[in-house]
């Protein structure tokens, strides 16, 4: 038997919105790492990909930022892993009252509203 390998084309690409999405948000763990540096570990099942669990972490930091009386956060890093069907993100952010420098800034109030519309829980 001869197997034929073909190149992937744009038509072969799967749109993530077409993938099954039945999120089960398993919880948020917050770790204060410094005065303005905070870590979050979030876990979920039913994610389509790493983007879904990263969004969960972003929603967590946005609410946390508001609770601290600040308005903004900046993404530092996120590590994502999938093990036995459970997605886990270990993310670190800075929080601040003023818009921080950098390209990965988060307006906490706007983000919390977006999370509520999307049904993603926060802290």
pTM: 0.85
Order of strands, edge to edge, in the sheet holding 72-83? 24-32, 37-45, 86-96, 72-83, 105-107
The residue count for the chain: 123
Q: Is the pLDDT of residue 100 over 90?
A: no
Instruction: Supply the pLDDT for residue 9.
Output: 55
pLDDT band at 119 (very low <50, low <70, confident <90, very high): very high
Pairing of strands 72-83, 24-32: unpaired
**Alpha helix segments (H runs only) across 14-99:** 50-67
Mean pLDDT throughout 47-70? 97
Instruction: Supply the pLDDT for residue 20.
Output: 84
């Amino acid at each position: 038997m001869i197997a034929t390998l073909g190149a992937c084309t744009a038509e072969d690409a799967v749109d993530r919105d077409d993938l099954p999405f039945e999120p089960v948000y398993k919880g948020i763990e917050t770790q204060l790492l410094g005065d303005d540096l905070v870590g979050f570990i979030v876990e979920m099942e039913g994610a389509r990909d790493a983007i879904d669990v990263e969004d969960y972490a972003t929603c967590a930091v946005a609410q946390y930022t508001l609770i601290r009386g600040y308005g903004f956060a900046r993404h530092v890093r996120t590590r994502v892993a999938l093990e036995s069907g459970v997605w886990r993100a270990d993310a670190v952010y800075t929080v601040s009252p003023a818009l921080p420098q950098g390209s990965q800034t988060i307006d906490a109030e706007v983000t919390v509203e977006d999370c509520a519309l999307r049904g993603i829980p926060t802290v």
